[in-house]
């Protein structure tokens, strides 16, 4: 029975939270499988706006079981802050389940994230400063602390001592920072142990049973294809697997149980932080997209870099994720433009590339080859069927679909839960 994966097609903030929320009533489980509180999902339900970071967006739908999978990195302080914030607003969070194998973001990794960025200077990544990179590095380095370690104090102490032996050398000798006491870390982590214990489970086993029963499981990515540590614009990426493959490793659901891969694709492009961005606009048009699309980060408040739609990226996302459906979001933001440029290929030092170039150097040299599509003036925010859209908006959707190489099943025409045109049901 169905497992559906939702991923971001570009550099994040495509509207994954809204898409997950939209599917909420048709699914039984929503699993976050990668990343941590570097994510920022804004979901608008009726007149209420929710900003989610660590919790899966499915938390807003009554009856859905939200799951934090093994591939996620968990900051316990943020977890309970977010839970308490939602509970205060009347959202029931009691069904939340957390994988015993998920890694914990320790305070020293938050510090290391920030000092490393400062140290890198002009080579910085522009991280969210939440400790994501150092925590995944510890996981790979086999010195990470996991959720289950909270329930064995002896093991926890050994692991924290082991980690700090190394970390304190780095903090003190390289970054000239204060060394961290083992007890300080232990106290901070153990303070949450009793509260987190009832939420913890073998989530891979739980999801296997759910799928066998015929329940619908939605696997929700944080970040996006071009921020994926393997398939993104390395080193200007996050430190986890944000593509469809990560849904399997980050949840314990095998590939042959995934039925559908839905990629969320913004009708233009944005990026937060450093790194190459071929269609980026540094002029009034970029400012217009930022203003009209409210392109300011949900997590850090940073203005998002804005540019035109990039079909090379969309095609790449379709390929590396095995996309079965695109959700094209924020089409309403393009309303009012006489012509809408879309990038159909790159020129790299005089050579035309229709596919993502192989090397970082080539991608840095890529200049977009644009085609201009005719714009539309009519307000589309109340359109609910494809034929309600102005002819030029319909043809924008069809052109994107053709260029990207997978069908567009939903078109977003506003931030609200209902503000979309559904061409084909996703679940
Ligand atoms: P995520 O990180 O992929 O979940 O996306 P974010 O929540 O960071 O950013 C997407 C923003 O666009 C949010 O503020 C959404 O409310 C908003 N949004 C989503 N879909 C649409 C749409 O179709 N039109 C408009 N105008 N806003 C949208
Ligand atoms: P959602 O889920 C946009 C970016 C950061 C930085 C890089 C590495 O809302 O789409 P990190 O803190 O992860 O080590 O930072 O990745 N980044 C995001 N950009 N949306 C996100 O999440 C992001 N999560 C991380 O800006 O460039
Ligand atoms: Mg976001």
Q: What is the mean pLDDT of residues 26-47?
A: 96
Q: At the topology level of CATH, where does 103-194 sit?
A: Adenylosuccinate Synthetase, subunit A; domain 2 (1.10.300)
Two domains, one topology: 3-98+199-262 and 103-194: no
What mean pLDDT, rounded, does the chain reach? 97
* Cβ of 412 less than 6 Å from ligand 1: yes
- State the pLDDT confidence band at 299, using cuts at 50, 70 and 90: confident
**Distance between first and last Cα of the chain:** 11
Mention every residue, 6+ apart, whose C-beta is less than 8 A from residue 103. 72, 73, 74, 135, 136, 138, 139, 144, 145, 146, 147
Whether the predicted pLDDT of 300 surpasses 90: no
Q: What is the pLDDT of residues 54-106, one digit of tens each?
A: 999 999 999 999 999 999 999 999 999 999 999 999 999 999 999 999 999 99
* Cβ of 226 less than 6 Å from ligand 2: no
The rounded percent of the chain whose pLDDT value lies above 70 is 100
* Cβ of 18 less than 6 Å from ligand 1: yes
- Of the listed ligands, the closest to the CA of 73 is 2
Residues 361 and 344 sit within 8 Å (Cβ to Cβ):
no
- On the question of a cis peptide bond just before residue 255, with omega within 30 degrees of 0, the verdict is no
* Predicted pLDDT at 1: 60
Residues designated catalytic: 13, 41
Whether the predicted pLDDT of 233 surpasses 80: yes
> How many Å lie between the centroid of ligand 2 and the Cα of residue 310?
19
CB count in 10 Å sphere of residue 280? 16
More reliable by pLDDT, 359 or 427: 359
Q: Report helix angle 132-141 to 107-120, nearest 10.
A: 110
* Cβ of 38 less than 6 Å from ligand 2: yes
Residue nearest to atom 25 of ligand 1 (CA): 414
* Cβ of 130 less than 6 Å from ligand 1: no
- State the pLDDT confidence band at 422, using cuts at 50, 70 and 90: very high
| CA 166 to mean position of chain CA atoms | 30
Whether the predicted pLDDT of 5 surpasses 90: yes
Distance separating alpha carbons of residues 248 and 309, to the nearest angstrom: 29
User: Taking the model in full, what pTM does it have?
Assistant: 0.98
Which of 272, 293, 296, 306 has most ligand 2 atoms within 8 Å of CB, for mutation?
272
Q: What is the pLDDT of residues 178-223, one digit of tens each?
A: 999 999 999 999 999 999 999 999 999 999 999 999 999 999 999 9
Domain range 3-98+199-262, CATH architecture = 3-Layer(aba) Sandwich (3.40)
CA dihedral 12, 14, 18, 24 (to 10 degrees): -70
| Sequence ranges of the domains in the chain | 3-98+199-262, 103-194, 265-422
Residue nearest to atom 25 of ligand 2 (CA): 38
Whether the predicted pLDDT of 298 surpasses 90: no
Whether the predicted pLDDT of 333 surpasses 80: yes
Domain range 265-422, CATH architecture = Alpha-Beta Complex (3.90)
């Amino acid at each position: 029975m169905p497992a559906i994966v939702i991923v971001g097609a570009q550099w994040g903030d495509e509207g994954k939270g809204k898409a997950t929320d939209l599917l909420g009533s048709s699914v039984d489980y929503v699993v976050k499988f990668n990343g941590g509180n570097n994510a920022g999902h804004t979901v608008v339900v009726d007149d209420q706006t929710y900003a989610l970071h660590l919790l899966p967006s499915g938390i807003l739908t009554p009856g859905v079981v939200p799951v934090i999978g093994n591939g996620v990195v968990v900051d316990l302080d943020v977890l309970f802050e977010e839970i308490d914030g939602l509970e205060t607003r009347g959202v029931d969070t009691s069904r939340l389940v957390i994988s015993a194998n998920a890694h914990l973001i320790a305070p020293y990794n938050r510090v290391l994230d920030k000092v490393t960025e400062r140290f890198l200077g002009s080579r910085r990544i522009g991280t969210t400063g939440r400790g994501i990179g150092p925590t995944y590095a510890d996981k790979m380095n086999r010195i990470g602390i996991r959720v289950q370690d909270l329930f064995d104090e002896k093991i926890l102490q050994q692991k924290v001592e082991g980690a700090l032996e190394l970390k304190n050398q780095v903090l003190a000798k390289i970054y000239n920072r204060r060394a961290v006491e083992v007890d300080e870390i232990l106290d901070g982590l153990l303070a949450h142990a009793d509260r987190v214990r009832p939420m913890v489970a073998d989530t891979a086993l739980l999801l296997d049973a759910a799928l066998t029963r015929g329940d619908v499981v939605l696997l929700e990515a944080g970040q996006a294809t071009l921020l994926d540590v393997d398939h993104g614009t390395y080193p200007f990426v996050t430190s986890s697997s944000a593509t469809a493959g990560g849904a399997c490793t980050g949840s314990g659901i095998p590939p042959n149980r995934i039925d559908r891969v839905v990629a969320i694709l913004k009708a233009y492009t944005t990026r937060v932080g450093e790194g190459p961005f071929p269609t980026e606009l540094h002029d009034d048009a970029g400012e217009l997209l930022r203003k009209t699309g409210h392109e300011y980060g949900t997590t850090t408040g940073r203005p998002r870099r804005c540019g035109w739609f990039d079909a090379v990226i969309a095609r790449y996302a379709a390929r590396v994720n095995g996309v079965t459906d695109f959700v094209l979001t924020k089409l309403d933001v393009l309303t009012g433009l006489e012509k809408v440029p879309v990038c159909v290929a790159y020129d790299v030092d005089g050579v035309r590339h229709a596919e993502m170039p192989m090397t970082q150097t080539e991608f840095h040299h890529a200049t977009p080859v644009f085609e201009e599509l005719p714009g539309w003036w009519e307000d589309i925010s109340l359109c609910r069927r494809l034929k309600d859209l102005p002819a030029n908006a319909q043809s924008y959707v069809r052109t994107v679909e053709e260029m990207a190489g997978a069908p567009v099943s939903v078109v977003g025409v506003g931030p609200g839960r209902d503000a979309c045109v559904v061409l084909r049901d996703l679940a």
